[in-house]
Amino acid sequence: MNREEIVRVKNLVVRYGRDLILKDISFSVQEKEIFIIVGGSGSGKTTLMRHMVGLEAPAAGQIFIGETDISAVSEDRFFNTLKHIGVLFQSSALIGSMTVAENVALPIAEFSNLSTGAVAAMVEIKLSLVGLEGYADHLPSEISGGMKKRAGLARALALNPDILFLDEPSAGLDPVIASEIDSLILHINQTLGTTIIIVTHDLDSIFTLGQRAIMLDKSSKNIIAQGTPADMRDNNPNPVVRRFFSRKPADSLVKS
């Protein structure tokens, strides 16, 4: 079933000083899908995501969230666009001096005119959604790594965003907890219809969650493969791509 394109990246170029990081990156993400960004170390995955959420400005190209080109929009319109996206950073980025509830309440207080009671009710709903009932008054230092991820996810969901950006959501977690986070992400996508864009290198997550994926390459600075994870593993002619998705040694792929 064809869906509307909710994110479009067109001819994106990223430079840090004289260093070229990404060149001529183009792809789109469809409404309500789970889209995966993969690649080897230093390929620019997190850099791409930071540009997609407007934390950094590209050297060239366009990034559309809906119909808004966030790379060229006014500050007021960009601020309005932020209401439609949620971001979970790899470290969860919780403020250590604030409770879990206070962390989740931050974007609600920033972007709405709700009363204190209404904000508290919304926070309770979001914490319940991610399975953190009873932990509202805990500081980040008092909860586990998996709980921090859940708290960060609750904060990312605070404004009922159309799009979630997740940077390595299972990084640093043991396999059981990582699987629970994957199940939670899948539940959010299926029940809320949220479009989810994930940077990850975890194969279990990629094949559990990914409906489509792109693979970035450090050498070419570009996308070297795109499609379903299974098709990229089984049918892509590039041995670098097949090696990434199968985790097989290079010589075994050459022989096959």
Tens digit of each residue's pLDDT (9 = 90 or more) over 225-254 = 999 999 999 999 999 999 999 876 555 444
SS (H, E, C) the chain: CCCCEEEEEEEEEEEECCEEEEEEEEEEEECCCEEEEEECCCCCHHHHHHHHCCCCCCCEEEEEECCEECCCCCHHHHHHHHHHEEEECCCCCCCCCCCHHHHHHHHHHHHCCCCHHHHHHHHHHHHHHCCCCCCCCCCHHHCCHHHHHHHHHHHHCCCCCCEEEEECCCCCCCHHHHHHHHHHHHHHHHHHCCEEEEECCCHHHHHHHCCEEEEEECCCCEEEEEECHHHHHHCCCCHHHHHHHHCCCHHHHHHC
Question: What percent of the chain has pLDDT above 70?
Answer: 96
pLDDT of 90 strictly over 90: no
- Laid out side by side, the sheet with 85-88 consists of 85-88, 163-167, 195-199, 34-39, 212-217, 222-227
- Structure-model confidence comparison of residues 224 and 247, the more confident one: 224
pLDDT of 203 strictly over 60: yes
What pLDDT does 251 receive? Answer: 52
Domain positions in the chain are 5-95+166-255
Tens digit of each residue's pLDDT (9 = 90 or more) over 33-53 = 999 999 988 999 999 999 999
Tens digit of each residue's pLDDT (9 = 90 or more) over 112-159 = 889 999 999 999 999 999 999 999 999 999 999 999 999 999 999 999
- Structure-model confidence comparison of residues 1 and 200, the more confident one: 200
Closest CA to 36 of 230, 246, 221: 230
Superfamily of domain 5-95+166-255: P-loop containing nucleotide triphosphate hydrolases (3.40.50.300)
**Average pLDDT score over residue span 188-198:** 96
**Average pLDDT score over residue span 185-213:** 95
